[in-house]
Structure 1
């Protein structure tokens, strides 16, 4: 069963050479295969479509530039996920991003910006994950949000997540357990079922 990707999970020398011999064609195929998936992953970090577009574009530029460094030790998908997640974290850490998000919040409250609060693309992404569960996941602190999204929504194994996030598997499991516990807390309190005190 599992995922049917256009690329093999791991590469033999021949397949790897073929992939790297024509980077322009390879990136086209990669974007067709993983474009939407990566965009949704980036959106889970960025939470808005403007930053999502910027970062997704950067991800594929980096994939194109670094294609010759891909060793074929992991699946191509895991390798691209690593690049995407690092880009997201770099972006979120940057002062520019924090400043831009503050400006956006201020602009959204002004009446002239009302129509641009959500772009059609952002609405599609939100509709795609419109469940109460996904909305609650999006409110979790990023260290729990990323493992929950990778494990449940992207269906990566804990081993793959540990490779992608460059952390040991025990930490991934701990964060998954804590993330699940936090999710249950949030969901039960949203339903009015939690006792505070």
Structure 2
């Protein structure tokens, strides 16, 4: 693939999948600017590694996998851990509405969607991919490198936990 073809492909995937990848990254890191940076890293890797793409999956699935790996690497990084420690030590001195709440409000209103962020990552990522990105269970299994039975059980358990969280919030908001 020559440079011009790579440029055209990158432009196409950025337009087609950019917003979806940003939402996916945000589901992991819960910070809009960092999510955008991680998606930018995804597109850089896409551009440099497109010749390695073996077409064993769709390009969308490949980009999701890169984004998920970028997010997981970030969450393991010293920069993330340091920022979390500073936040805990000094307290969260944000406005009455947190960045997460503002992003959720912009993204779409609703108790269920905000409750998703309370789920552990292993449930949150599967719920997000299944319900919001509308991926099939088989695609999720391939994307995350999990058996289909694990995906099914995590969807069920994630749904159950989500239901409990929504009910808990309803009780406290009355």
TM-score (norm 1): 0.77
Structure having greater relative contact order (Cα 8 Å, sep ≥ 6): 2
Aligned partners of 1:61 and 1:139: how far apart in 2? Answer: 31
Aligned to 2:127: 148
Task: State the SS of the aligned residue for 1:140.
Answer: coil
Q: Which has the larger radius of gyration?
A: 1
Aligned partners of 2:91 and 2:43: how far apart in 1? Answer: 29
Alignment of 1:22-41 (within 5 A): 22-41=5-24
Judged with a 3 Å threshold, the aligned counterparts in structure 2 of structure 1 residues 126 and 60 are, in CA distance, closer, same or farther, namely: farther
Displacement of 1:21: 6.7
Judged with a 3 Å threshold, the aligned counterparts in structure 2 of structure 1 residues 104 and 63 are, in CA distance, closer, same or farther, namely: farther
Aligned partners of 1:107 and 1:51: how far apart in 2? Answer: 20
| 1:141-162 alpha-carbon deviations (Å, 9 max, x no partner) | 1000000000001000110001
| 1:78-124 alpha-carbon deviations (Å, 9 max, x no partner) | 11111111111111112221212333564851xxx659x649xx845
TM-score (norm 2): 0.87
| Preserved contact between residue 40 and residue 125 of structure 1 (Cα < 8 Å) | no
Judged with a 3 Å threshold, the aligned counterparts in structure 2 of structure 1 residues 26 and 104 are, in CA distance, closer, same or farther, namely: farther
Question: Given the alignment of the two structures, is residue 54 of structure 1 paired with residue 33 of structure 2, yes or no?
Answer: no
| Preserved contact between residue 159 and residue 169 of structure 1 (Cα < 8 Å) | yes
Computed over aligned residues only, the root mean square deviation of the Cα atoms, in angstroms, reads 2.6
Aligned to 1:74: 57
Aligned partners of 1:68 and 1:92: how far apart in 2? Answer: 28
Judged with a 3 Å threshold, the aligned counterparts in structure 2 of structure 1 residues 50 and 21 are, in CA distance, closer, same or farther, namely: closer
| Preserved contact between residue 104 and residue 114 of structure 2 (Cα < 8 Å) | no
| Preserved contact between residue 151 and residue 157 of structure 1 (Cα < 8 Å) | yes
Aligned partners of 1:71 and 1:90: how far apart in 2? Answer: 23
| Preserved contact between residue 122 and residue 154 of structure 2 (Cα < 8 Å) | yes
Aligned to 1:12: none
Task: State the SS of the aligned residue for 1:26.
Answer: helix
